[in-house]
Amino acid sequence: MYKIGVMTSGGDAPGMNAAIRSVVRKGISDGYEIVGIQRGYAGLLSGNQFLNLKIGSVADIIHRGGTVLLTARAPEMLEGENQDRAAELLKGKGIGKLIIIGGEGSFRGAITLQERGIDVIGVPGTIDNDIPGTDKTIGFDTAVNTILDAINRLRDTATSHERIFLLEVMGRHNGFLALAAGLAGGAESILIPEVGYDIEEVCKRLMHGIKRNKAHSIILVAEGAGDVYKIKEEVSKQINSEIRVTVLGHVQRGGTPSAVDRILGSRMGAMAVDLLHKGNSGLFTASRGEDIVALPLEQCFKGVKSFPEKLYQLALVLSK
Ligand code: F6P
């Protein structure tokens, strides 16, 4: 079969469009027909979301955030009968090879399709950077820079009003975004699920700053670390300073992709085509230092991505 399907699935991430563009253009140059499947697995299961993509279909998208193929969360793909149906729908359209750009949940869906005879390659796209095996996921760099921009703005007002700010950023299960942005933005404390938090310690650090006449502080709180409003209450009880909460929310998922994410998307998309062309399946593209390598999809589910303890310790020392 000379058709490659491509879809984005789960939360969108800046740089996904660069990956789609790369799959389309590399795939066509290697002699494939490329079929875009809109709205991820939900679109696939609806059976009517297939688009033939030409070279021109992906013009003017490399600089755009989000995904032109649209995306969705599709819990229905956890059910065996939907997995059967998805594979049958693909085969019915002559699509024997599929590239899935998304996070861990998307990769789980990919494995079920592989088990049903579709050649699949995953491309890690999520702002969370939580896929084990790859140093970076597409979208992480842009999101970190978006958070950094928010920190810079908050710092202006925090300094002027001599206030403490709690900034909640995404990361349901991990603190990669909070840690990277917190280190780069000089946050006074970084609360992440991997470490948990101790209110006494947070307050001690704040008091340390106050004693040296530093009346403003920014504390980064990863979504999964705890309820940011509860943390505010707990800190308020112990520190006699004004505290404000900002929840950044989905702002950090949009925006123009950084050069890093465009290049990562372009490299990984092209490599995914290459892997399929050489007869591979069940792999995902992973960044390792300067290289992009291919790893088994199963590897993503063996444990969680280890958190960079050294960076965390460095952030603690530098933000005293
Ligand atoms: O998986 C990416 C992510 O942005 C998480 O960081 C966040 O917790 C979640 O998606 C939010 O999901 P939704 O957009 O479905 O509310």
List domains and CATH numbers for the chain. Answer: 3-139+257-301 (3.40.50.450), 140-254 (3.40.50.460)
Cα of 204 vs centre of ligand 1, distance in Å, is 32
Phi, psi of 174 (to 5 degrees): -155, 170
**Ligand 1 pocket mutation pick from 73, 104, 128 by most atoms within 8 angstroms of CB:** 128
pTM of the model: 0.97
171 lines ligand 1 (CB under 6 A): yes
CA distance 183 to 129: 16
145 lines ligand 1 (CB under 6 A): no
Residue with tokens 């999101």: 143
Mean pLDDT of the 111-115 span = 98
CA distance 76 to 14: 25
Closest ligand 1 atom to 171 CA: 6
Cα of 170 vs centre of ligand 1, distance in Å, is 7
DSSP 3-state assignment of 287? Answer: strand
- ∠ CA 41-7-179, rounded to 5°: 95
User: What's the chain's length in residues?
Assistant: 320
Edge-to-edge strands of the sheet including 217-222? 189-191, 217-222, 164-169, 243-247
Closest ligand 1 atom to 223 CA: 8
Q: Where does residue 301 fall: left (phi above 0), alpha (psi -120 to 50 degrees), or beta otherwise?
A: alpha
pLDDT tens-place string over residues 66-84: 999 999 999 999 999 999 9
Is the Cβ–Cβ distance between 213 and 174 less than 8 Å?
no
Is the Cβ–Cβ distance between 105 and 10 less than 8 Å?
yes
Cβ neighbors of 294 (< 8 A, separation 6 or more) are 121, 271, 275, 280, 283, 284, 285, 286
Residue 180's pLDDT is 98
Could you list the active site residues? 128
Residue 115's pLDDT is 98
- Could you tell me which of 98, 143, 145, 144 has the C-alpha nearest to residue 123? 98
pLDDT band at 242 (very low <50, low <70, confident <90, very high): confident
Amino acid at site 35: V
CA distance 246 to 21: 35
137 lines ligand 1 (CB under 6 A): no
Phi, psi of 226 (to 5 degrees): 155, 175
257 lines ligand 1 (CB under 6 A): no
127 lines ligand 1 (CB under 6 A): yes
What is the DSSP track for 105-162? HHHHHHHHHHTTT-EEEEEEB-TT---TT-S--BTHHHHHHHHHHHHHHHHHHHHHHT
User: Which range among 52-66, 142-156, 298-312 shows the weakest confidence by mean pLDDT?
Assistant: 298-312
Amino acid at site 234: E
Using CA positions, which residue lies closest to atom 13 of ligand 1?
Answer: 11
What is the DSSP track for 36-89? EETTHHHHHHHT--EEEE-GGGGTT-TT-SS-TT-----GGGGSHHHHHHHHHH
User: Which range among 22-31, 127-136, 211-220, 289-298 shows the weakest confidence by mean pLDDT?
Assistant: 211-220
